[in-house]
């Protein structure tokens, strides 16, 4: 499994791993065994951020599967209990640089030319 993005759960029992295979794997951090895989999406997973309560994970994807100025950034907020996407962020012409959870909201930073923007997803 080639990984480009990873993050631990808030209790450090699970490791979330994503990459060019377009899926997010949930691995038992103690045994290294695969526990679950979230449904595949379009694009390469290049960033993962778990929420403090362990109920959500934000995944940053590049569409298509490349990392250059022509790629499109998409952020999906996953509800881990339901194994479903509860929010999607996509703005043409910007690159998502990263983000962090603030309660149930995910704050992300994007760049376009010489401008940085902060967005809020719930």
Domain interval for residue 38: 5-92
Q: What is the mean pLDDT of residues 97-121?
A: 91
Residue 112 forms part of a structural domain: no
What is the C-alpha separation between 47 and 17, in angstroms, rounded?
A: 9
CATH number of domain containing 38: 2.40.10
Give the pair of three-digit tokens for residue 1.
């499994």
Residue 59 forms part of a structural domain: yes
Give Cα separations from 38 to 17, 22, 24, 31, 58 (angstroms).
10, 10, 5, 19, 12
- pLDDT digits over 71-85, tens only? 678 999 999 999 999
Residue 50 forms part of a structural domain: yes
Q: What is the mean pLDDT of residues 99-104?
A: 93
In this prediction, residue 111 has a pLDDT band, given cuts at 50, 70 and 90, of confident
Residue 62 forms part of a structural domain: yes
- pLDDT digits over 18-44, tens only? 999 999 999 999 999 999 999 999 889
Question: Across-strand partners of 89?
Answer: 75
pLDDT at 104 over 70: yes
Question: Across-strand partners of 101?
Answer: 106
Q: What is the mean pLDDT of residues 98-111?
A: 92
The share of the chain scoring above pLDDT 90, in percent, equals: 70
């Amino acid at each position: 499994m080639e990984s480009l993005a990873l993050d631990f759960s808030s209790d450090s029992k699970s490791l979330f791993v994503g990459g060019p295979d377009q899926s997010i794997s949930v691995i038992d951090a103690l045994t290294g065994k695969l526990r679950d895989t979230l449904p595949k999406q379009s694009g390469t997973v290049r960033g993962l951020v778990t929420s403090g309560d362990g109920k959500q994970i934000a995944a940053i994807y590049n569409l298509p599967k490349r990392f250059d100025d022509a790629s499109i950034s998409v952020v999906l907020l996953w509800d881990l209990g339901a194994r479903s996407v509860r929010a999607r962020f996509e703005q043409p012409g910007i690159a998502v640089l990263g983000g962090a959870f603030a309660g149930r909201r995910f704050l992300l930073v994007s760049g376009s030319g010489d401008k940085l923007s902060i967005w809020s997803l719930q």
